[in-house]
Amino acid sequence: MSNDKINIVETELYEAYESLRGITDFEPEIALVLGSGLGGFAELLEDKQVIRYDDIKHMPVSTVKGHSGCFVCGTIGNVKVIVMKGRVHHYEGYTMDKVVLPIRLMKLMGANTLFLTNAAGGINEAFGQGALMMITDHITSFVKSPLIGPNLEGLGTRFPDMSQVYDKRLQKLLRETAAEHNIDLKEGVYVQTTGPNYETPAEIRMFAKLGADAVGMSTACEAMTARHMGMEVMGVSCITNMAAGIQKTALNHEEVALIADKISATFQKLVWHTILKLGQ
Ligand code: HPA
């Protein structure tokens, strides 16, 4: 790795931060990443400030239809939240360090907790279409680590521990919130693939043997980056479809989006009340 590369990743991050600080002085406590179907959640914040990704230097902009791109800063109860409405994916052609740049930015702004959400395919046959799954652990071995390259010493250590990525206290909080609101919350391990293709049935059988309960194309790399910086992380997947071979029909993005929309009211309720509880 050349010194130029060191400079690019680090320089871009701090230039992006300076550019963002030219727009807002908001200091969030919690960073929330909205997956498919959850975009409407950003409307629920109070005292909103919307910052378009386009307006931030070096910020990657989503190329996927229906993934609008902006940060929304505001409050939920007495909690100061920054919401990422739209994320970018490695499959769009962005390098991993670009994919995780927004996560690093939100930490630099002040957020010490990261709440990740996504749409995922269900591998665990005890799940059904439309289920919600709290992520208890993940497998990222099939995608390139976003931490490859010179270590950003200002952010974290070279060899970060990943033995407890999803914080136990936050898992308990999610479980309690779900129970209080009669939301059936499954639990399991999320495996990240590169996408953009969905998996083959043979791949899904392999993932099942490896201990994965759900599969998707995002999230785990964001969680890893957040842990590198010492953030506390939690995550919930919306199981929009059963994975290839388990579901007997072919997978398509329209169906994923449709089911994500259908479950969004329950998903929003869970996220909203969990954040309220975090402020107590
Ligand atoms: N596989 C990968 N990503 C996904 C899926 C899936 O089945 N469903 C939603 N996102």
> What does the DSSP assignment read for 215-256?
EESSSHHHHHHHHHTT-EEEEEEEEEEEPBTTBSSPP-HHHH
Least confident of 61-75, 80-94, 147-161: 61-75
CA–CA dist 255, 243 (Å, integer) = 12
The two three-digit tokens of residue 132, written as one number: 């919600």
45 C-alpha vs ligand 1 centroid, how far in Å?
28
Residue (of 239, 231, 233, 185) closest to 212 by Cα position: 239
- From 10, 62, 68, 91, active-site residue: 91
Task: Between 17 and 7, name the one with better pLDDT.
Answer: 17
Residue (of 120, 59, 47) closest to 86 by Cα position: 59
pLDDT computed for residue 64 by the predictor:
65
Arithmetic mean of pLDDT over the chain: 94
Give, in degrees to the nearest 5, the angle at Cα 118 between 162 and 172: 55
Q: Is the pLDDT of residue 12 over 60?
A: yes
Q: Give residue 92's pLDDT band: very low, low, confident or very high (50, 70, 90).
A: very high
1 C-alpha vs ligand 1 centroid, how far in Å?
33
Q: Is the pLDDT of residue 271 over 70?
A: yes
Decide if 16 contacts 56 (C-beta within 8 A). yes
Q: Give residue 36's pLDDT band: very low, low, confident or very high (50, 70, 90).
A: confident
- From 16, 31, 89, 120, active-site residue: 89
Q: Give residue 230's pLDDT band: very low, low, confident or very high (50, 70, 90).
A: very high
Distances (CA, A) of 201 to 121, 173, 198, 207, 216: 12, 35, 10, 10, 14
Q: Is the pLDDT of residue 173 over 70?
A: yes
pLDDT computed for residue 181 by the predictor:
97
Mean pLDDT to the nearest integer, 38-42:
89
Q: Is the pLDDT of residue 37 over 90?
A: no
pLDDT computed for residue 9 by the predictor:
92
Domain residue extents for the chain? 3-278
The two three-digit tokens of residue 280, written as one number: 């107590």
pLDDT computed for residue 184 by the predictor:
98
Least confident of 56-70, 153-167, 168-182, 244-258: 56-70
Q: Whose CA is nearest to atom 9 of ligand 1?
A: 120
Q: Is the pLDDT of residue 65 over 80?
A: no
Residue 119 a catalytic site member: yes
Mean pLDDT to the nearest integer, 126-139:
97
Residue 253 a catalytic site member: yes
Cα 244 → chain centroid: 22
CATH architecture of 3-278: 3-Layer(aba) Sandwich (3.40)
Q: Is the pLDDT of residue 261 over 70?
A: yes
Mean pLDDT to the nearest integer, 226-239:
98
pLDDT computed for residue 200 by the predictor:
98
Give per-residue pLDDT as tens, 186-215: 999 999 999 999 999 999 999 999 999 999
Q: Is the pLDDT of residue 67 over 60?
A: no
Q: Whose CA is nearest to atom 3 of ligand 1?
A: 216
Q: Whose CA is nearest to atom 10 of ligand 1?
A: 120
Q: Record the pTM.
A: 0.96
pLDDT computed for residue 68 by the predictor:
55
159 C-alpha vs ligand 1 centroid, how far in Å?
30
Residue 91 a catalytic site member: yes
Q: Give residue 4's pLDDT band: very low, low, confident or very high (50, 70, 90).
A: low
**Helix 220-228 and helix 101-109, axial crossing angle in degrees, nearest 10:** 40
**Ligand 1 first shell, C-beta below 6 A:** 119-121, 198-199, 215-217, 240-241, 243, 251, 256
CA–CA dist 35, 119 (Å, integer) = 6
pLDDT computed for residue 62 by the predictor:
81
Q: Is the pLDDT of residue 133 over 80?
A: yes
123 C-alpha vs ligand 1 centroid, how far in Å?
10
Mean pLDDT to the nearest integer, 53-74:
85
